[in-house]
Amino acid sequence: MNRRQLTAFATLLPGLALAQGSDPRRIRVALLPDENASTLIQNAQPLKNYLEQRLGRSVELIVTTDYSSMIEAMRFGRIEVAYFGPFSYVLAKTRAPAIEAFAVGVERGAPTYQSIIIAGASGPVRGLEDIRGKAMGFGDQASTSSHLVPRALLLQRAGLRGGADYRVVHLGAHDAVARAVQSGQVAAGALSEAIFRTLITRQVIDPARVVEVALSAPIPNYPMVMQGSLAEPLKAAIRAAFLDLREPEVLRAFRVEGFAPTNDAAYDILRETARVLELDLGSMRG
140-189 tens-digit pLDDT: 988 999 999 999 999 999 999 999 999 999 999 999 999 999 999 999 99
Residues near 249 by beta carbon (within 8 Å), at least 6 away in sequence: 46
Q: How far apart are CA 222 and CA 256, in angstroms?
A: 10
Give CB contacts under 8 A, 24+ apart, made by 179-182: 179/204, 179/205, 180/137, 181/118, 181/119, 181/120, 181/137, 181/210, 182/120, 182/206, 182/209, 182/210
d(CA 215, CA 194): 11
| Rounded CA separation 189/134 (Å) | 11
Q: What is the pLDDT of residues 110-139, one digit of tens each?
A: 999 999 999 999 999 999 999 999 999 999
Domains and CATH numbers, the chain: 17-110+220-276 (3.40.190.10), 115-217 (3.40.190.10)
Helix, strand, or coil (residue 134): coil
- Mean pLDDT of the chain, nearest integer: 91
Q: What is the pLDDT of residue 20?
A: 65
Compare 229 and 11 and report the one with higher pLDDT. Answer: 229
Bridge partner residues of 188 (DSSP): 119, 136
* Helical packing angle, 45-55 and 232-243, nearest 10°: 130
Average pLDDT over residues 38-47: 93
User: What's the pTM?
Assistant: 0.78
Is the per-residue pLDDT at 13 higher than 80? Answer: no
The pLDDT tens digits for 56-113 are 999 999 999 998 999 999 999 999 999 999 999 999 999 999 999 999 999 889 999 9
Alpha carbons 215 and 47: distance in angstroms, whole number? 30
- Rounded Cα distance, 223 and 84, in Å: 6
